[in-house]
Chains A and B, each alone.
Chain A
């Protein structure tokens, strides 16, 4: 009796995907320029960057923690990436490897302290946020690096084919990679197992410390990628990159059905969460609505998604009982 339909709705990504579709249809009827190729390019660029940010938080949510330092790691990598190219004159690819390495090291440092001391991830990453931000400002003295090579600028602003920007490439790599990690690789299953039930995971022989450090290393890697994509997009290494990631990094995974206590995440759901946020942000711009309203809408979206997830949880609990 419609059980197939309800089961489909138990999939994390169906709901957000439908919402995205409806939003696209409604907005493009009201404002046909929404589907112009320039607008699609802008939209896809925003989605690409925000997807990496969201995945960086998703992997930490999966292990049952939170990462407040995500944005400050991204910002530190962004300015380091720009500085390596401007001051040391390194070729972009080498600088990129350096940037990714910084992100991974920063993530491993957070993960190591959290795993070894058992202090809440919230406090450690709050300290990390301040430390990485302080290093960022200490290096830049709040001044941007302007000497970004043309090839990097092109990567962030030129279309690959039609309205599809090059920035989509790293997003696809990251999304497929994270999907494979969570669904096909041992480390991903370990991360989810710890998030689902820490004690059970430990009793089944999973090394908690190593897995938590892995999760934070992945998070740092994704933050680094997003930070460098923003350098390409903005064409400068701005020290403020990463300051506004906190809210959206949680909003997208939560809209995508991630359970904040850990153990249950969806890469596809997160993708549609990112799409919904990007569409709403873009629509507010198209309809010339005060950009500060975006903040209010994002907050409301989080509450709405949390409410839906909670209802689903309760329904699942009832069905089991």
Chain B
């Protein structure tokens, strides 16, 4: 049954085709196709690409990038952004190192402690943004500098290397022989966030506040509080990402996200934008973010193993972000022409 001839009088059929069309036009579907194609391409060129160790390494990095992407996604919902995710992630990782190495606290205390600390830093950002009415770009630009500066000042730029062995073991842990435990954590958080945004009152209110703050306010949503909650969630997720990097390295290193945590900015935006999160707010693509991170890492790993200089890969990632936003724009124009949006 083709689309042109199906009579709109039959709601069942019309609903069915548009459902299929919706799926076919969705970011997620496009990404799955791209991931499969990219994977097949590299696996056919490189015999070692689909070896268990390679899959494990790619999966682990996907897990970390997904979490960084989630952290940014949680604040993109408000139509804002958070430049300080990297700084928060590193700061939380250092707090974690301090809690379990200096204070000797068990992991069951120091892990939640670090995540709470991240949430606290996020809350400070959110509070400053909401109360001052200044755009989150400039507030988090300042807080990125402050958080990172205080962290370096207090740690004297030295790493915590005497962490409990369980931390590094988690980074090496393979579930079912090849799936990284860090990837499993991100998948679990992905499911939790999907439920949060789709089925909980708070999640729906957050989306409503991000889509149209004034309308949400009029219908009784306290948008200010919602925005602060979004920033707090961003902080908590950034802290989790910092802990995952710590598990991979086996140490809490102040330079793990580069100068001021800037190195996280690209993965933080790349995954959600590829996944179809609207930068203007109000719409999340939780599963898409996971797929976006997966796509980026399959390409990166493939190019690395093809021995294209690692420095040129950075330029490739930039081009990929550019291509992603251009493709997204093109898709919107196409959908609008067909009257599907």
Chain A partners chain B: yes
Interface residues, chain A, with chain B CB atoms under 8 Å away: 66, 113, 117-120, 122-124, 126-135, 137-138, 141-142, 243-244, 246-247, 250, 254, 260-261, 290, 292-300, 302-303, 306-307, 310
On whether A292 and B259 interact (CB within 8 A), knowing A247-B141, A299-B145, the answer reads no
0 or 1 for each of B243-262: is its CB under 8 Å from A? (1 = yes): 00000000000000001101
Q: Is the CB of B315 within 8 A of A299?
A: no
0 or 1 for each of B168-193: is its CB under 8 Å from A? (1 = yes): 00000000000000000000000000
Q: How far is the CA of A128 from the CA of B318 in the complex (A)?
A: 6
Nearest B residue to A134 by beta-carbon distance?
B315
How many residues on chain B are close to A (CB under 8 Å)? 44
0 or 1 for each of B126-140: is its CB under 8 Å from A? (1 = yes): 001000111101110
Mostly helix, strand, loop or mixed at chain A's interface?
helix
Q: Is the CB of A302 within 8 A of B132?
A: no
Q: Is the CB of A119 within 8 A of B329?
A: yes
Interface residues of B in 107-149 (CB under 8 A from A): 128, 132-135, 137-139, 141-146, 148-149
Contacting residue for A123 out of B143, B144, B279, B315, CB 8 A: B279
Q: How far is the CA of A231 from the CA of B329 in the complex (A)?
A: 39
Contacting residue for A292 out of B157, B309, B318, CB 8 A: B157
Contacting residue for B81 out of A117, A122, A292, CB 8 A: A122
Contacting residue for A127 out of B142, B262, B313, B321, CB 8 A: B321
- 18 other contacts beyond A134-B317, A295-B260, with CB at 8 A cut-off? A117-B325, A120-B279, A122-B81, A124-B325, A127-B319, A130-B314, A130-B315, A132-B318, A133-B315, A134-B312, A134-B313, A244-B259, A254-B138, A290-B153, A292-B153, A293-B153, A298-B149, A300-B142
Complex A-B, nearest 5 residue pairs according to Cβ-Cβ distance, in ascending order: A134-B315, A130-B318, A295-B149, A299-B145, A134-B314
Q: How far is the CA of A214 from the CA of B315 in the complex (A)?
A: 25
Nearest B residue to A133 by beta-carbon distance?
B314
Nearest B residue to A297 by beta-carbon distance?
B149
Q: How far is the CA of A128 from the CA of B322 in the complex (A)?
A: 8
Tell yes or no: B152 within 8 A of A by CB: yes
On whether A260 and B325 interact (CB within 8 A), knowing A126-B269, A306-B132, the answer reads no
Q: Is the CB of B157 within 8 A of A302?
A: no
**Chain A residues, CB < 8 A from B326:** 117, 119
